[in-house]
Structures are given as structure tokens and as C-alpha cells.
Amino acid sequence: MQSSQKPMHVTETKFWNTLMHDVYGPRSGGAIIFLDAENARKGVAKTSGAVALARLFSRAFGYELQREDFTLSGSEYLSRYQAHPGEEQPSVLVLDEFVGGGAGDKRRAMSQQNVDFGRAWQLLRTRRVITIATLPDWNSADKRLKKLADYRIWCREQPMGYFQPYKVTVPFSSGGGGVKTKGLNKAGSSARKIKFPNMDANNDEFYRHLGRKKGELIDSDGWDADDLTDEDEPTQDPADVQRQQAIRYAIRLYEPWNDSTDITQEEVAEVIEDYSRGWVSQVVREWKRGEYRELVPDPS
């Protein structure tokens, strides 16, 4: 019976071992974790759990966390995701209030930002970035993004301070719909409860940082965290913004500085809508000549 199970430290669990194998095993990639709550309850320490996991992962990876790694803004997250280290250094990002902060909502499934999330999570997985996205109920997320997730962490209502981990699975015959979860337990039964610390009581700097961000969002007019990042930036033509974003994606996906990249220009063109292989080739050549370095610096 699950009620008789003794709480385990997360590093002793099948969840931890499976995720570490994702990062350091033959797959050698990152992972997307959705962290939600039993009964979609608010106030059950989801942010605390996300920050605690981020700190634990960062210590295991030897990665130094920064405040910029914790955000409520989808655009800030995507920019930071692209700027994170490559295959040589696993790293961690926390996107708090996913959906609530304006990103990833299934009601905005055709929005450009949701498309951008899908592109990033599909084609930049080898960067070995662990993303922890919190939301009250993961069923509120765009179903295409749920299919790209690797794990679901379910914070329990009682007792507070415990979660259960699940592996996200996509059945072979799911078509355009079903995504399932499978409990991660060494015994092969239901997911085991794992205790996590109270980061609020620990006065954690990253927890406080996200708290301030949420306070700003609550006091804003539009309930969109992206709007809070643009106050000091000049207004740009939407067409220019879209083109710059396409250039950034093309360069980041193709990695012209990497002689061993296995992504072709044709594959890049397929995921960047309205742009051809010839356009991708031209952008790559121009980047090699020194252009667009303000959008994508040379990591070498």
C-alpha cells in the first residue's frame, strides 16, 4: 500500500535515476517537466517544489543558477533557453505559472509563442536543459506541448510538501490526442511520494525572486508576463520582430559553428514556416560572415 511507503530522498528514486540517464546516458539530452497540483489546488507549494528541484539538479550538474533562469515570461524563457550552454553543460530553467502567466495555454494553441515552444522543445533537446514548468493543472496546457513533455510531477494536497513523479507516454495509436502518464516507482507500482523542502521558510533567493515577479503580474492590467518585460524597449514593427525571430531560430537550430551538427538546412526550413531552404542557407552564410551576431553570438 502506498500509505505505508517510507518517504525517500529524491536522489534515491527511480525518477531521479531515469532523468539522470536521460541527461548522461546514450540519449544525452534535456527534459521537460510539468509540475502541477492535485485537484488543481493553488497554494500547495508548486513553486517551492520547482525551486528545490532546480537547486538539486544544478548541484548535480555543476551548473551555477542565476536569477534569469527563473521567469514567468514565455518570451524570456525561450530567449534564455536558446542562450543556455550547449551539449557540454547540463543546465536548469524554471518557467513558473505556465499558462497562468500567458504562455502555453491550450486556448491559444495556434499562437506564435506556442509554436515557438514546440520548435524549441523538439529541436534543441540535445542542449541538455532541464525545464520545470509549473501550473495548477497540466490539462490546461497545449496538447502538442504536453506530448513533448518527459515528466509530470504531481504536488499532493495533503500532506503539503510531497510530490509524486510520472513518466509522460504517448501511445502509438494516440493520433492527435492522447497523452498518458506512468508512475515512476522502483517496485513498478504507483508513483512514490517524495518530500521536498519549504523554500519559502528557507528564505531562498530564487523563490523570493519569483514571488516578486508574481506580485508584478498580479498588479498588471493584462495578466501576461511577457508585457512586463517590454516597458523599456522601443516599439518594433511586428514583421521585423518575426523576421529576427526566424533568423535566430534558423541559426540556433542549424548551429553553423558546429561541424558535427546532424540537422540539415532542409529540416530547419521545414519547422520555420514561410521560409525556404535557400533562405536558411543565405542566413547561415551571412552569420558566418559576421552578421546577426547581436541575435546569436558565436559560442566558440
Give the contacts of 55 (CB within 8 A, at least 6 positions apart): 65, 204, 206
- Distance (Å, rounded) from C-alpha 263 to C-alpha 246? 16
Q: What is the pLDDT along the chain (300 residues), one digit of tens a residue?
A: 444 556 678 898 999 999 999 999 988 889 999 999 998 888 889 999 999 999 999 999 999 999 999 998 888 888 888 888 777 899 999 999 887 655 544 444 445 667 777 777 877 777 889 999 999 888 888 888 888 899 999 999 888 899 999 999 887 765 556 788 888 876 555 677 899 999 999 999 999 999 888 887 666 555 455 555 544 444 455 567 778 878 888 888 888 988 877 788 888 888 777 788 899 999 999 999 888 888 888 877
Domain ranges of the chain: 2-229, 238-288
Please state the three-class secondary structure of 40-63 as a single string.
Answer: HCCCCCHHHHHHHHHHHHHHHHCC
Please report the pLDDT score of residue 81 as a whole number.
86
**24, three cell numbers:** 548522461
Please report the pLDDT score of residue 143 as a whole number.
83
Q: What are phi and psi of 298, to 5 degrees?
A: -75, 110
**285, three cell numbers:** 552564410
Please report the pLDDT score of residue 3 as a whole number.
47
**167, three cell numbers:** 513518466
- Distance (Å, rounded) from C-alpha 25 to C-alpha 21? 5
Query: Are the C-beta atoms of residues 38 and 155 closer than 8 Å to each other?
Result: yes
Please report the pLDDT score of residue 198 as a whole number.
92
* pTM reported for the whole predicted model: 0.71
- Distance (Å, rounded) from C-alpha 137 to C-alpha 114? 17
Please report the pLDDT score of residue 226 as a whole number.
54
In the chain, which residue ranges form alpha helices assigned H by DSSP? 14-24, 46-61, 74-83, 112-123, 143-148, 205-219, 238-254, 265-271, 277-288
Please report the pLDDT score of residue 113 as a whole number.
67
CATH 3.40.50.720 correct for 2-229: no
Please report the pLDDT score of residue 229 as a whole number.
53
Query: Are the C-beta atoms of residues 147 and 170 closer than 8 Å to each other?
Result: yes
Please report the pLDDT score of residue 245 as a whole number.
79
